[in-house]
Structure 1
Amino acid sequence: MTIAASDRGRLESALVARLPSLLEDVAEGLREYWPDYADFLSAESGGVAEAGTLFVRQLMEMAEPSPTDADAAHRSSTVRVGEETVHLVFEQIGRQQLRAGNDLTRLLTAFQLGARQAWRQVSTTALQMDLAPEVLASLADSVFVFVNELSFSAARGYLQAQLDDARLRERNREELVRLLLSERASQEAVRAAARRADWPLPDRAAVVLVDPGDDTARRLVDGLGGNCLAVRQADVYGAIVPNVHTTSGRTNLARQLRGAGAVVGYVVPLDRLPRSAEVARVVEDLRRQGMVTGDPVFAEEHLDTIIVWRDPALTEALRRGVLAPFADLPETVRERLVDTLTSWLRHQGDRHAMAAELSIHPQTVRYRMAQVRELLGDALDSPRERARLFLALSWPVRPPD
């Protein structure tokens, strides 16, 4: 049953006239449990009143079935006149509620309360106008269908705002990472970027790197938590992790990264993070060559190896220099005597410890060291020369590239 044109005009005018009363009723109903929403209605009264007027007009359209579509009164996804405007208004309301820090579930519950208040005003007005029961039923259906649609629009605006915020936060964090890993960024710029990224600046942090082609490694790094900053640069996958210097922080990080084959750069103040990243890349290279092991590998546990092999050419030159007296020996003899010399340096001349390590008799140790002394002479008695020998021989030989 359709609403007569005259009745429709009178009903629409009456409902628009009652909007202030309706909004007041809604605000009063919200105030006990949702005072922030009641305050929102008061603060945004102009925009809310405009949305209310559009609501009334759309309600009239929905409540009057089209002659060519008997089911039009029950449609739940389309409205004809001003549809986009109404839904955009309520999407904006959803966005505003997120900005105000309100929960989506509470927002939708408040909409249901608003729907009940709206129906009370609509039904009271319709009864006062003596409209037919069929019209009243059509109006009731339209009110709740339309409120559901508007709730959906508000929820869409709320969720879209969340997505926009997440994207902005991600961009801000990417910018912060770029600054933290740049040697040219000022501390003022870093602090400003950290505020935008909502990332509390720690005193110290470390850079974690994994193989970007390893799905398991990427998944484990992604699960480190929101207090870590993702590092996603060309051929680099990892994170900036704060508070690794504490025992609990280190233990927790090791547990989270187990199975990732990760490298953890040494812990530094924030202005030295580029150095932590550089050292982590060096350790990655050493791990690939089997010169350091661990899962994860903590750079701080291998600083000696890093220092020795940071410049392989220099280390190899030192090694060739100190071993020059052995150069003319047959290879097997040379290797045997170099192993004995290395053990002697490591165990500070303890023949029994050397014998156990080399699986030979102590007398054999004595015999070999006599040969070594013939080759090196007084160098074995010089603290400086012993230090050079130790530096050259006591770390694993780097495999050829």
Structure 2
Amino acid sequence: MATREPRSPRDLPHFEVSPEVIAAMRAELARTGGEVVVAIRSEVPEYADPFRGEMGRTIETAVTLALGGFLDLAASQPAGEGSFERVWDAAYALGRGEARSGRSMEALLSAYRVGARVAWRDLSRAAVSASVPAGAIASFAELVFDYIDELSAASAAGHADELARTGRVRLRYLERLAQALLRGDPATDLESHAHRAEWVVPDVLTAVVLPESRVRAALGQLDAATLQATEQVPDLEDLPDLTVLLVPGRAQDARAALVRGLADRGAVVGPTLPWSEARRSLERALRVVRLLGDADGAAARVATVDTEDHLDRLVLSADPAARQDLRTQVLAPLQDLRPAAADKLEETLRAWVRHQGRREDMAAELFVHPQTVRYRMGQLRELYAERLTDPDWVVRVTLAVGVE
């Protein structure tokens, strides 16, 4: 659908002239069309190459037809209105073609201005030679330039509509690419989606999960090629207020800059991985989101979170039931104690693995006197005996109680 409809030929300036004058002008059409093409090629650099060879001859024919349609209109012939609509449609199609070719409307509007000047010069010469009155020639000039304005408007409408259409199409392709990356589709499929979307494949991608309300501000800090999943993101159905960005990069060392750029956006930044492995980056980011809290917690969070800072917690939370079984196994010697005593010794055991047995540091963490730490460690040695010196057992204790 065009963004503007053509005016009715009846709304254009009226030009009264004899059929003989119109016939004289028609005799000039072929030469005038050729001169229009030559002038445009000379004065509008963007059209120097497109007007060469077969394409140049095609355009010359189109110019001649446009001029013929103008003379039909000027002669007030019955076919004039139909000719005008056909020429308007052709100008609209020309604008769309220019958009597809990547040229701006500035070049085309310049070509129209050059064409109007050359056409007016040649056709008015024929009118003067036929002794057309000055008043009629003035009306003729007005009609020429109104006609060119209409064709310019038609091409501008076509250009704008094509840009809008191609923009919508590309957005659909980019969305399909984002969804394919987040699903973890095969690399060959991802490459096909990227090609259709005209998206330059990066070395690496980083999945960023953040509240919808902060996307616009975040995008202002990121690479323009960043992909945003605007449809439902896989595995994010239970977190409707969050969305995902896929941020491209050329090197792993760009990650620190990415995290800094997202400061105070409440984002969770997944690992930076080869671009076709974006799914893994998303999975880890979502695990940290769920580890830190639900959607409400994420929306309220201000500081950006780097998943690299939470790898230990991710490992320990991978199988909660297994970790609970390990805790039960490690803390079994404390089961026969009173609950309060067992809790104190568990806290002391945690401080022991965290501070590698340094009594002063343990005391500071537990808010007790170092002598109290010494006493409690004596109790633990009675309960665990030689296991406190077994490196493998120390690892199990660390996994069971060392990280909250």
Shorter-normalised TM range: 0.7 to 0.9
Instruction: For residue 264 of structure 1, give the secondary structure of its aligned residue in structure 2.
Output: strand
Q: Find the residue that maps to 2:271 and give its secondary structure.
A: coil
- Asked whether 1:353 is paired with 2:361, we answer yes
Partner of 2:288: 283
Once the two structures are TM-superposed, the CA of residue 389 in structure 1 deviates from its matched residue by 0.8
Quick one: structure 1 residues 209 and 64, their matched pair in 2 at CA, closer, same or farther if it must change by over 3 Å? same
Distance of aligned partners of 1:366 and 1:252 in 2 relative to their CA distance in 1, 3 Å threshold: same
Q: Distance in 2 between matches of 1:252 and 1:29?
A: 52
- Aligned mates of 1:11, 1:324 — CA distance in 2: 112
Q: How does 1:191-230 map to 2 (within 5 A)?
A: 191-212=191-212, 215-221=213-219, 224-230=222-228
**Unaligned residue ranges in structure 2 (runs of 5+):** 1-12, 237-242
- Please show how residues 320-331 of structure 1 align to structure 2 within 5 Å: 320-331=328-339
Paired residue for 2:39, among 29, 50, 59?
29
AA aligned opposite 1:282: R
Match of 2:347 in 1: 339
Alignment partner of 1:239 out of 220, 245, 249: 245
- Equivalent residue letter for 1:365: V
Going from structure 1 to structure 2, the CA distance change for 1:383 and 1:107 (only over 3 Å counts) comes to same
Q: CA deviation at 1:134?
A: 1.9
Q: Identical aligned pairs, as a percentage?
A: 32
Residues 29, 64 of structure 2: 8 Å contact kept: yes
* Distance change in 2, residues 1:328/1:88 (3 Å): farther
Q: CA offset at residue 372 of structure 1?
A: 2.3
What are the residue-to-residue correspondences of 1:297-316 with 2, within 5 Å?
297-316=305-324
Paired with 2:402 and 2:199, the residues of 1 have a C-alpha distance of: 43
* SS state at 1:101 partner: coil
1:368 alignment partner, one of 370, 376, 392: 376
- Amino acid of the residue matched to residue 65 of structure 2? T
- Name the SS of the counterpart of 2:206 in structure 1: strand
Distance of aligned partners of 1:232 and 1:206 in 2 relative to their CA distance in 1, 3 Å threshold? same
Q: Give the partner amino acid of 1:241.
A: V
**1:269–1:121 CA distance, 2 compared to 1 (3 A):** same
Corresponding residue number in structure 1 for 2:396: 388
| Cα offset, 1:140, TM superposition | 0.7
Task: Report which stretch shifted further, 224-233 or 44-53.
Answer: 44-53
1:298-356 deviations in Å (ceiling 9; x for gaps): 21221111111122222222223222332344443333222211111011101112122
- Partner residue of 2:50 out of 40, 56, 60: 40
Q: Would you say the 8 A contact 1:283–1:306 is kept in 2?
A: yes
Per-residue deviation, residues 215-252 of structure 1 (Å, max 9, x unmatched):
124542476332222223315522221227543x2243
In the alignment, structure 1 residue 101 sits paired with structure 2 residue 113: no
Partners of 2:23 and 2:402 in 1: CA distance: 94
CA contact (8 A) 1:216 1:260 kept: yes
The 8 Å contact of residues 41 and 51 in structure 2, kept in 1 or not, is answered as no
Superposition misfits of 4+ residues, deviation over 4 angstroms: 1-5, 62-65
The answer to whether the 8 A contact 1:208-1:239 is kept is yes
- Structure 1 segment 115-154 matched on structure 2, within 5 A: 115-154=116-155
In the superposition, the TM-score normalised over structure 2's length comes to 0.83
Q: Check conservation: 2:353, 2:398, Cα contact below 8 A.
A: yes
C-alpha distance in 1, partners of 2:27/2:346?
101
TM norm structure 1: 0.84
Alpha-carbon distance in structure 2 between the residues aligned to 1:11 and 1:337: 112
Q: Contact 1:267–1:276 (CA<8 Å) still a contact in 2?
A: yes
CA distance in 2, matches of 1:325, 1:241: 50
Query: By how many angstroms is 1:209 displaced?
Result: 1.4
Amino acid at match of 2:316: V
Q: Match of 2:82, SS?
A: coil
2-side partners of 1:231 and 1:246: how far apart? 23
Q: What residue is the counterpart of 1:76 in the other structure?
A: none
State the distance in 1 between where 2:14 and 2:203 align.
72
Contact 1:216–1:259 at 8 Å: present in 2 too? Answer: no
Q: Mean alpha-carbon deviation: is it higher for 302-311 or for 14-23?
A: 14-23
Q: Classify 1:365/1:122 alpha carbon distance in 2 versus 1 (closer, same or farther; 3 Å).
A: same
Question: Does structure 1 retain, via aligned residues, the 8 Å contact 2:33–2:63?
Answer: no
Matched letter for residue 388 of structure 1: R
Report the Cα distance in structure 1 between the residues aligned to 2:95 and 2:14, rounded to whole angstroms. Answer: 34
Q: Cα gap change, 1:252/1:148 in structure 2, threshold over 3 Å: closer, same or farther? A: farther
Counterpart of 2:371, as a letter, is Q
- Quote the Cα distance in structure 1 between the aligned partners of 2:21 and 2:334: 109
CA displacement at 1:204 relative to structure 2: 2.2
Partner of residue 19, structure 1: 29
Deviations 1:67-100 (A, max 9, x none): xxxxxxxxxxxx9433432222112111222233
Aligned residue identity for 1:376: Y
Q: Which residue of 2 aligns with 1:72?
A: none
